[in-house]
Amino acid sequence: AQTVTQSQPEMSVQEAETVTLSCTYDTSENNYYLFWYKQPPSRQMILVIRQEAYKQQNATENRFSVNFQKAAKSFSLKISDSQLGDTAMYFCAFIIIQGAQKLVFGQGTRLTINP
Amino acid sequence: DAGITQSPRHKVTETGTPVTLRCHQTENHRYMYWYRQDPGHGLRLIHYSYGVKDTDKGEVSDGYSVSRSKTEDFLLTLESATSSQTSVYFCAISGFGGGIGTDTQYFGPGTRLTVL
């Protein structure tokens, strides 16, 4: 079975701090992509960052970066200089690269940025 | 903005009634998906389509059917709605073509469905 586990149901940090969200996944496949999606109170699912499993270099997008450890099947998200607008649910997900790409999601981490 | 709309955005219905949700895309993407979101479960795949009239089941397909008669529209039907189908439903698309972005899914705004 392919699964994604986010062990932190909720997190809270002060504005401008750095926060790391954890994610582990399980698959026997070798060719897959990993994602972090953000869901603010508006409910819209927004792609934050994407990582190809065959790449060793960790993906970065402005203040967002990942720590991808393929052997450990770990894919954490680091948010630097956190802002009030980062308050949201964050979902970790992955897809296997074959045919239709079916995303497998974790349960989510609710992140609150306090002023 | 990947050009995805969902209708209706909110719906309240009664148990036993049929319900159809529509997903519409404007950019000719090949793959379309329906997910449901429930507390504690993240998003779970209901059905997906890999082309016109080509569909397949996902993880939680019981009680749902889909149709895709043209590229831009993917319909999700609850033949006889039950209270357990109260949820937020998301449509997603992927398949921009070859290269970067082909395997990335972009989501519509969601439909909140309440079955009384």
Residue A29 has a pLDDT of 86
- Residue A89: count of CB within 10 angstroms of its CB: 20
pLDDT band at residue B102 using 50, 70 and 90 as cut-offs: low
Segment holding A13, helix H or strand E: strand A10-14
Of A47, A102, A107, the CB nearest to B40: A107
Residue A63 has a pLDDT of 97
DSSP-derived letter for residue A70 is T
Question: Which is more confident, A57 or B27?
Answer: A57
pLDDT band at residue A31 using 50, 70 and 90 as cut-offs: confident
Rounded distance between C-alpha atoms, residue A107 and residue B41, angstroms: 5
Rounded distance between C-alpha atoms, residue A65 and residue A50, angstroms: 10
Is pLDDT of B100 > 50?
no
pLDDT band at residue B101 using 50, 70 and 90 as cut-offs: very low
Question: What are the Cα distances from residue B75, in Å, to A80, B2, B46, B98?
Answer: 40, 18, 12, 26
Rounded distance between C-alpha atoms, residue A13 and residue A97, angstroms: 35
Q: Residue A41 carries which side chain, given as an amino acid letter?
A: P
Q: Are B110 and B23 in contact (CB under 8 A)?
A: no
Nearest residue in A to B56, CA atom = A100
Is pLDDT of B99 > 50?
no
Q: Which two tokens stand for residue A99?
A: 């045919």
pLDDT band at residue B43 using 50, 70 and 90 as cut-offs: very high
Q: Which residue has the tokens 């148990």?
A: B15
pLDDT tens digits, one per residue of A58-99: 999 999 999 999 999 999 999 999 999 999 999 999 988 776
pLDDT band at residue B30 using 50, 70 and 90 as cut-offs: confident
CA A19 to chain B, closest CA, distance in angstroms equals 21
CA A37 to chain B, closest CA, distance in angstroms equals 10
End-to-end CA distance of chain A: 41
Residue B28 has a pLDDT of 84
Rounded distance between C-alpha atoms, residue A44 and residue B45, angstroms: 17
User: φ, ψ for residue B83 (rounded to 5)?
Assistant: -60, -30
pLDDT (average), residues A33-37 = 95
Whether the upstream peptide bond of residue A9 has omega within 30° of 0, thus cis, is no
Rounded distance between C-alpha atoms, residue A30 and residue A97, angstroms: 9
Interface of A with B (CB under 8 A): 4, 33, 35, 37, 43-45, 47, 50, 91, 93, 95, 97, 99-103, 105-108
